Chain A
Amino acid sequence: MSLNEHDLSQLRAALQDAVVKCSERCLYQSAKWAAELLDAIPATSHDAPQLNDPGADHMPAVFSPNPDPDEARLEAQEFSKYLLAKSFFDCREFDRCAAVFLPDSILSGIIEPNQDAPGGTPNNKGNTKAGTVPLGAPSSSLPVMSQKSLFLALYAKFMSGEKRKDEDSEMIMGPQDLGTVVNKQLLPVSRVLNRWFEERTTEDGEVVGSQGWLEYLYGMVLAKEKNEEKAMDYFIRSVHVFPMNWGCWLEMTSLISRIEDLNRISRHLPQNIVSYIFHVHTSLELHQQGPGLANSLDQLLGIFPSSSFLLTCNALLSYHAKDLVAAEQLFSRLLSLHPHRLDSLDHYSNILYVMEYRPKLAFLAHLCSTIDKFRPESCIVIGNYYSLLSMHEKAVQYFRRALTLDRTCLSAWTLMGHEFVELKNTHAAIESYRRAVDVNRRDYRAWYGLGQTYEVLEMHTYSLWYYKKAAGLRPWDAKMWVAVGSCLQRMGRNQEAIKALKRALLADAYYEGGDSFDSGDILGNRGPTGHMDPEVLFQIATMYNDLGNLGEAKAYMELCVAQEEGDLVDPSGGLGGSVAVHKDSPAGSDDGNGEERERTMREGTGVTASTSRARMWLARYAMDSGDYATANRLATELTQDGFDVEEAKALVREARSRMHEEGQLPSP
């Protein structure tokens, strides 16, 4: 997707317009995003003559003209009031800002009579309600003002509600902190917007003259009220009218919890570059990965080569693809390009945590704390560092701080849950995971953590439910399936457990073999799939053993033992250090994780507890089936392994005596 110079300058103009419009409406984050993207467009030769153009106006546009003449006239009339309101907003005096355009008397006049107002026409509504409104409110209908001013006023009202909500909230995870505090301004704002849209909607559902911002605000309010269908509808309408409002796209992302939803919605979206970026970003949020996505990202990077946002996306893509080394390198480069940028460094700290790059994580924490120690990202980075040092109380303290700064900080809730698991405080852990899930239902780590916590509490039914949720969100993550399988096994549902574990083995193979996944039977292509987790294999084998299916059991046991020499099984496996195991679930909470990771780093697994046990099983099996020579060989190997040496020696002795009896071995 290469753009010519004309397109580029158009894009630049659109982005410039977006920055000005967003900041006019005090949508700071959207303005920042657009400006960052604008800066990432490389300068073209076309720009230079334009600067020398004597006719060009060098004055930067602080306020953009409104194309709609009616709106432009209104805006010109209200200009000084608008300036007043905006400066109030900038000083975070939200109520005062709202009162500039919508004094409380007018607002209450609009809200109250709404119950007995069946959708009448705008004109007669204004007349009929005039008598019922309290004194001082001349009319219950909306005062005439430009959309920009209305947006600013309502948005200020909304923000004031948010602010009050934060102030009313109790200490994070405190006794009173039930997460039930709501934004009290949602209702009035939604009433006003509802009225506004009712007034403007024509017969065929079109909103006349709307410029997209009010739709965005209404969508936000609706989303807060959990009216997600309608919210999405308004968001889509908004981006059709004004596509450059990134905040709107972000709100849409947070409403999408499955990739299917994304695909369904993308049909209704306008086809432009922001929509394209949205698609990539949302896919990443949904933990997607793959060459298609990488390709799209590359194309975008072609247009915006130095965009920090896209570079972050790129790094996250590598992260989701379990290519931690590449992800680390990308983030490291990003850090050197934008050293003051704190956004998404929490993801970087997760990566460093998993890779155990302690000095670098410490450096990152140092950097973040120097730049701004009161940003949720900084707190998460520091918390992660403390977690890596096994100082879990301190880690919890910093995650808590992150949440105090931003209650919707998803990863902080999840990570705090992990820390509580470490501290053996299961109730707190469950609560924080639950909060994480409430904030964002797509967080498989929180689901997984919940399952794990319930497993610790030996409530396997609950556990299974949550594991299944996690596995649903990440169908190609072996760990989820292993968890499901183990859980089923504990519940005694061996058949299902075997199925889940086989799925886990497949998932492993999926990541290793790229995405050209062959959905054939696991036993069918077990050779070329290469490395498999001996733990899982052993588990499957024991279950077959329990089910009495000794043949299958033996096959899996042998497979398990074979994992010791991974390079023999699959010499071209490419399982070098670059493929690291994903580990963003609770750190080291199950000791197997650490071991497992270390083992996968090597070519073969070497002798592990499970392979030894598998060998022992095989030896006994050989013994029972009278194959004493094999039993002797396996048991002798066992004596060298160091696990259960005594038992192995006893087996050797028994095997030898049996062989002696049968004369297979000359007497010693």
Chain B
Amino acid sequence: MGRFLTPAKIGLLALVELYVDELVPTSAIIPVLSFITSSLLDREPTVLAPSCSSSPQSRWTNAERRVSLVTSINDFESLLAAYPVVVGLPGRKLWDIFLEKLWDVNSLHQLHDFFDRQSHNLVMPSEQLRRLGLTEAELQGIRISRNSPFGTFIRRCQLEFTRLRFEDSVELWKDFVSYRQPTLGHRQRRSPSMGRMSFDYVLDAGEQADWDVEAVNVLASITYGDSLTSNSSSSLPVSTDDVEFLLEFQIDKMQTHGNRVPLDVRVRFQRLLQDSRVIPTLSHYLSFLDAWKSGDHPTAFDYLHRYFDYTMQSRERLYYQYALMNLAIIQADFGSHKDALETMLETVSTARENQDMPCLNFALNWLFQFGRAHPRLIRDLESDSLLGSGKESLAYLRAKAKETGMWPLWSSVLLSEAKLGFCDGESVASCVEMLVRSSQLIVTRNLKNLYGAQLTMAMALWERLGLAHLSAVESEIFLRCHIGHTSFDDELKVTARVAMHLTERGKYDQALKMVEALDENALRSWKASQYWYKYRGIIKLTRDLRHDNLDAAEQLMSQLLQSKQDDMEPDVAFVINSLHVDYLMRRGDLQAAFSKVEDMLDALDDGKRDIALYVHLMLLKAQLFDKAGRPQRGFTLAMRAASTAWRARLIPTLWQASGALASILSSLGEFDAAAQLLTAVLPRSLEYESAAMSGQLYSHLADANMGLAGKAPPNSARRTEHLTRAASAVEKAFDSYSAIEDTKKQCEMMAKKATIMKVAGDKALAADYAAAYVSLRKSAAALATC
């Protein structure tokens, strides 16, 4: 295997020569040039043709094209066969001229000659011009400038050819002959005089002159081996340069998009590697990444160590911290958080020692994020004030990032700060300021791959402010515009968020469809697929719970609860836990639900967790008290939740807290206050587009109105008025619950409706509603069993 040169590169050189000789017709110039360019530069075709957006499928085309160009000459044919020639017989195609050029190289010497004459295609250096007494204008025809991409390519090819040892040039020549051999039939049709030994001038001439057939056969088999006689080429003409390009390409793809190499690309690449005598160490890194992504951690460890063992000698210990960093990340992924933390701390100290700023910054940032996710582990550390508190380290990082010009880090630190602000329930305005600053950074520095983080943060902001619509818009923007250059992780998370949003509105099928439409190849990555499975489970679980299909829900629940807490993202874990509580409540096991909530609160108590979760749990507890028929015991909880939510501007939670308060007020007989509170809250809560929440608020309102009606004298207009209000509120609640298909609540509302009608004296309607209730129960039962 050569270092750089392959038969395909010879083909490209011939193509360049055709262009220089002005044999390429005008219509073909653009395709030919862009073909060469895309083969020479490590650019994706999308950059050259910005109109087509990079879909996940097209990401790998560049690699595939490179492989197919290396393995067969057909790519040239499909490019060139379509164009006619400029001069020559009509009916001839550019492909014919190209082949003629290739077949003119009919001996090893001609190959030397071919490389030698490539310098004629370049602009002459000025010295040489002066020596020849010419000016540049006097030279006719196209000349390629020495520093252009084509020029550097030609010069590199020449240099590499000169560097080849003789046996390597022979190897290249043999590869070239077998690369070209498939076109023999085509050539013979054009010029029938071509014999069977026409690939080598000496053999051909010898056969026609004094050598007999047997001798020529023997000579050919000695010099060219079996590659010409047997059709299956045993080895592919691939160069280290190509392999390295493919490796870098794959690693780059895996690192930026976070997904694994598609199977067919991988298989073809393995075939290429088989034939290469030198396996670049980078391929170990590729295997490491692949194993890591596939969740095969032992193999990943093995390959990582192998990679660093092989590279250590060449790069000295300069890159030791990177080894540690990778190790820490993979340990964290493996769930070995303690080891990961220690390794990362060592990374920090090594990076400090080696004064490797980028590495240090990255490590600190990682540590900070890690600390947010696993506060228990980091706590001991912080008490030693090794790193200082989160805020301080963030401020330090921000300053450093600005100093060293690490824009991605700077932006991500700003986002972290915003997130920290949210979690601690600090001023929304200052958080928004951080967001805007990061956004400005992203736009001015064109950090496209950070859009995911930025927009995710914006979505969270709008959601906290109870503006579900704006959040949906942000996610839509992300999914439509920025998917191409962000990692798959972001895509997955945003999709999950959108799906959850749809679930909130009862569009389960749509949500599931959306989740299932994700790129299958990307889901081969273990972590992503876990996340994906969890979210699908969550959506299905929610649907089952709402359908009151508790058996199915139990099954799903037990599956979801099986994975250890540490393996999951904290937010997923929280969602699953709350669903568990919901499940227990629906089962009627309030005791268990209560202890579960208590456990969750305990878990939250130990660190600086998101304040929203805290409030959410308090509300759950209050709800439990409500369920248990002792709403008053939840009063303080509800009050605290409301005030906290207000302070931290957790608007949806605030509405929920108000609902809880109102129900407590109702239970205390303060119907008027409850009704007033709810009437104030309801319009804004509708903005959040959560049907469950609005249904609950409406049902509370109906309760309050019923209470008011009960207080009013019988048969008074006030009573009728309150009854009507209650009925309409129940109607609204019913609608909301219908939207999310929550059958139990639907029945409850229907029953309430019938009762209200009965109280209001409308017997016929009451009977109707009762009948509707019965049919609802039936359909609910049907839903619950399906």
Contacts and interface: CB of A to CB of B under 8 A. Distances in A.
A362 B107 contact: yes
Interface stretch (B206-214, B278-286, B570-578, B732-740): B206-214
A224 interface: no
A366 B170 CA distance: 6
**What's the dominant secondary structure at chain A's contact region?**
helix
A333 B210 contact: yes
A335 interface: yes
A336 B219 contact: yes
A358 B112 CA distance: 10
Interface string A533-544: 000000000000
Nearest to A333: B210
A490 interface: no
A398 interface: yes
Given A365-B166, A389-B112, A336 B212 contact: yes
Interface string B73-96: 000000000000000000000000
8 contacts: A332-B206, A336-B210, A336-B211, A362-B109, A362-B112, A369-B170, A370-B223, A385-B166
Interface in A378-401: 382, 385-386, 389, 391, 394, 398
Q: Which of A332, A340, A363, A389 has the most CB of B within 10 A?
A: A363
A359 B109 contact: yes
A367 B202 CA distance: 11
Interface string B408-431: 000000000000000000000000
B219 A367 contact: yes
Interface in A521-555: none
B200 to A, nearest CB: 7
Contact of A340 (B166, B200, B222): B222
A369 B219 CA distance: 13
A249 to B, nearest CB: 30
Contacts of A333: 210-211
Interface string B379-395: 00000000000000000
A383 to B, nearest CB: 9
Q: Which of B166, B173, B219 has the most CB of A within 10 A?
A: B166
Interface string A330-349: 00110111011000000000
A313 interface: no
Contacts of A365: 108, 166, 170
Contacts of B210: 329, 332-333, 336
Contact of A382 (B112, B166, B203, B216): B166
Contacts of B219: 335-336, 339, 367
Q: How large is the interface on A (under 10, 10 to 19, 20 to 34, 35 or more residues)?
A: 20 to 34
A336 B216 contact: yes
Nearest to A364: B202
B218 interface: yes
A606 to B, nearest CB: 26
Nearest to A371: B222
B138 interface: no
A370 B170 contact: yes
Which are the 10 A-B pairs with shortest beta-carbon distances?
A: A336-B215, A362-B109, A362-B108, A359-B107, A363-B202, A336-B211, A358-B109, A359-B109, A382-B166, A339-B218
B167 interface: yes
B202 A360 contact: yes
Contacts of B203: 363
Given A336-B212, A362-B107, A362-B108, A373 B223 contact: no
B545 to A, nearest CB: 75
A385 B162 CA distance: 14
A333 B212 CA distance: 10
B215 A367 contact: no
B639 to A, nearest CB: 91
Interface string A308-333: 00000000000000000000010011
Q: How large is the interface on B (under 10, 10 to 19, 20 to 34, 35 or more residues)?
A: 20 to 34
A361 interface: yes
B218 to A, nearest CB: 5
A332 B106 CA distance: 19
A369 B202 contact: no
Contacts of B202: 359-360, 362-363
A600 to B, nearest CB: 25
Nearest to A332: B210
B166 A369 contact: yes
B334 interface: no
Contacts of A361: 109
A336 B212 CA distance: 8
Nearest to A335: B219
Contacts of A370: 170, 222-223, 225
B456 to A, nearest CB: 60
B249 interface: no
A358 B113 CA distance: 10
A386 B206 contact: no
Interface string B137-170: 0000000000000000000000000100011001
Contacts of B110: 359
Contact of A398 (B166, B211, B222, B223): B166
Contacts of B108: 359, 362-363, 365-366
A377 to B, nearest CB: 14
B269 interface: no
B214 to A, nearest CB: 9
A340 B211 CA distance: 15
Contacts of B166: 365, 369, 373, 382, 385-386, 394, 398
Contacts of A386: 166
A362 B110 CA distance: 9
A332 B222 contact: no
Contacts of B594: none
B215 to A, nearest CB: 4
A589 B210 CA distance: 34
B419 to A, nearest CB: 64
Contacts of B212: 336
B178 to A, nearest CB: 14
Given A339-B219, A362-B108, 19 more contacts: A332-B210, A332-B211, A333-B211, A336-B210, A339-B222, A359-B106, A359-B110, A361-B109, A362-B107, A362-B109, A363-B200, A366-B170, A366-B173, A366-B223, A367-B222, A369-B167, A370-B170, A391-B162, A398-B166
Given A359-B201, A382-B166, A337 B215 contact: yes
A373 B167 contact: yes
B116 to A, nearest CB: 8
Interface string B34-71: 00000000000000000000000000000000000000
Contacts of B222: 339-340, 367, 370-371
Interface in B181-207: 200-203, 206
A530 to B, nearest CB: 31
Contacts of B211: 332-333, 336
A212 B206 CA distance: 46
B215 A339 contact: yes
Given A336-B211, A337-B215, A363 B112 contact: no
Contacts of B109: 358-359, 361-363
A365 B109 CA distance: 10
Contacts of A339: 215, 218-219, 222
Contacts of B167: 369, 373
B220 to A, nearest CB: 10
Q: Which of A361, A370, A371, A386 has the most CB of B within 10 A?
A: A370
B157 to A, nearest CB: 16
A394 B166 CA distance: 9
A337 B211 CA distance: 9
A24 to B, nearest CB: 32
A229 B301 CA distance: 75
Contacts of B162: 391
B104 to A, nearest CB: 12
A394 B165 CA distance: 9
Nearest to A363: B202
B283 to A, nearest CB: 29
Contacts of A389: 112
